[in-house]
């Protein structure tokens, strides 16, 4: 098995983290019991590009235990944990990643994860899919399909499908109810605050927190920041979402208005250069900036660099830009996903749901032949994942009585 990681000797620490995560992943354990004997992925080769931390490791190991050959690249240099990579290799998953890898190494690792010739792709951000369509087209005939984890990846896949170039079926795990309602909202809500607090040791109560983007992620972070006592200002492009933020009790403003007022800025838009030169120019001394959108382009780092005299790491995970006029602006996690670059990512129980959808999607793709295009997670899988979660909590649902069923189908009062 070929692999490229920092240090295989770190495996014991990674194994401990994986054991801890697995005990809080009842839905994955349920699927392990359901599929374990049948090994539905026997003979399948899976290339994955994911944040390589303990919860993802539980998914990758289970995919292997269900019969697949699994090769993984890390989807972000700062979210890759070297001890997890080592433990994955010990468990027979080939890994190409290391914490702090350069952009060149990152793409080399993506290519190495693909070189095995996958039948199924498990992507987070669509870099595997993009690379196979641009640089490694010879692999296309062998690919049955794949699944995509995040909003920004799905956005890229939609563009590829609209241009008619998406050559195989991709399932949008992100758009499943069991994903975006919980992962994007509650997962990001908690873990972004966790990353911010761990890295800065700052008080949130009484601060003005500016949230750019009131989508699923932004709603979650606004809710948690507000619950901790922050005054929240939301910036948006979309009038309905802006009004929703107002109805939820937040102030809504544009970034030019919010920039001089904010103490903490968090971007969650999936867009580029949301905070840029004209905003940095008017920020307070000591403003803290974090991004939780998938790519590190939401806070314009080149503009920040041009406006500053020097940059230093003032705390682990905090880059302090000293501006020409003496102000300091602190950037968390180099502008990469703050919850993963400065923390452990989403809570375990949340990723249990998202990864159950990833696993079910892989099994579905191994069993079914689909035409090229972008697909939703089949509704029965989405529902089954939620039911398994509720069952693990001992919560049961009502069923309809025959009278209720007839009533719901009828148009006569």
CB of 212 to ligand NAI, least distance (A): 5
- For residues 229 and 205, what is the distance between their CA atoms, to the nearest angstrom? 4
Of 340 and 386, which CB lies nearer to ligand NAI in the complex structure? 340
Q: Which of 293, 362, 339 is nearest to 148 (CA)?
A: 362
C-alpha pair distances (Å), 196 with each of 129, 221, 312, 346: 31, 11, 18, 13
Of 32 and 244, which CB lies nearer to ligand NAI in the complex structure? 244
Of 238 and 380, which CB lies nearer to ligand NAI in the complex structure? 238
- For residues 139 and 124, what is the distance between their CA atoms, to the nearest angstrom? 19
CB of 269 to ligand NAI, least distance (A): 4
Of 236 and 352, which CB lies nearer to ligand NAI in the complex structure? 236
Residues at the contact surface with ligand NAI, assessed by CB under 6 A:
150-152, 180, 184, 188, 212-218, 235-238, 241, 268-271, 274, 292-294, 337, 339, 346
CB of 404 to ligand NAI, least distance (A): 34
Using a 10 angstrom Cβ sphere, with 0-12 exposed, 13-18 middle and 19 or more buried, the burial of residue 195 is buried
CB of 124 to ligand NAI, least distance (A): 9
N- to C-terminal Cα separation, the chain: 67
Q: Which residues are within 8 A (CB) of 332 and not within 5 positions of it... i.e. 6 or more apart?
A: 195, 196, 199, 200, 288, 289, 290, 291, 317, 318, 319, 338, 341, 342
CB of 216 to ligand NAI, least distance (A): 4
DSSP 46: E
Adjacent-strand bridge partners of 375: 171
Q: 95 and 8 in contact (C-beta within 8 Å)?
A: no
Of 158 and 328, which CB lies nearer to ligand NAI in the complex structure? 158
Of 13 and 271, which CB lies nearer to ligand NAI in the complex structure? 271
CB of 255 to ligand NAI, least distance (A): 7
- For residues 250 and 235, what is the distance between their CA atoms, to the nearest angstrom? 10
């Amino acid at each position: 098995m070929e692999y490229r990681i920092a240090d295989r000797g770190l495996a014991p620490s990674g194994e401990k983290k994986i054991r801890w995560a697995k005990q809080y992943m009842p839905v994955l354990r349920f699927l392990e019991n359901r599929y374990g004997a049948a090994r539905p992925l026997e003979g399948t080769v899976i290339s994955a590009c994911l944040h390589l931390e303990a919860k993802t490791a539980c998914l990758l190991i289970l995919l292997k235990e269900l019969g697949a050959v699994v090769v993984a690249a890390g989807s972000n240099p700062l979210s890759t944990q070297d001890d997890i990579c080592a433990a994955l290799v010990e468990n027979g998953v080939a890994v190409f990643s290391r914490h702090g890898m350069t952009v060149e190494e990152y793409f080399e690792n993506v290519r190495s994860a693909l070189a095995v010739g996958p039948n199924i792709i498990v992507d987070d951000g669509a870099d595997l899919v993009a690379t196979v369509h641009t640089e490694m087209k010879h692999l296309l005939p062998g690919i049955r399909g794949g699944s995509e984890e995040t909003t920004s990846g799905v956005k890229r896949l939609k563009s590829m499908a609209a241009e008619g170039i998406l050559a195989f079926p991709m399932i949008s795990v992100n758009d499943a109810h069991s994903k975006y309602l919980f992962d994007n909202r509650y997962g990001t809500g908690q873990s972004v605050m966790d990353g911010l607090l761990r890295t800065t040791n700052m008080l949130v109560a009484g601060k003005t927190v500016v949230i750019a983007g009131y989508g699923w992620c932004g709603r979650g972070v606004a809710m948690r920041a507000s619950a901790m006592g922050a005054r929240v200002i939301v910036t948006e492009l979309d009038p309905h979402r802006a009004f929703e933020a107002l109805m939820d009790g937040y102030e809504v403003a544009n970034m030019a208005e919010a920039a001089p007022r904010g103490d903490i800025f968090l971007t969650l838009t999936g867009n580029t250069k949301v905070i840029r030169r004209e905003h940095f120019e008017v920020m307070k001394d000591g403003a803290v900036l974090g991004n939780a959108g998938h790519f590190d382009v939401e806070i314009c780092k080149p503009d920040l660099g041009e406006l500053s005299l020097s940059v230093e790491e003032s705390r682990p995970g905090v880059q302090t830009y000293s501006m020409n006029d003496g102000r300091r602006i602190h950037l968390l996690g180099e502008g990469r996903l703050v919850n993963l670059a400065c923390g452990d990512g989403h809570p375990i129980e949340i990723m249990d749901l998202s990864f159950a959808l990833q696993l079910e999607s892989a099994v579905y793709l191994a069993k079914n032949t689909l035409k090229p295009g972008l697909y939703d997670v089949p509704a029965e899988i989405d529902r089954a994942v939620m039911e398994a979660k509720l069952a693990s909590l001992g919560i049961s649902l009502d069923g309809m009585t025959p009278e209720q069923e007839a009533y719901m189908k009828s148009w006569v009062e």
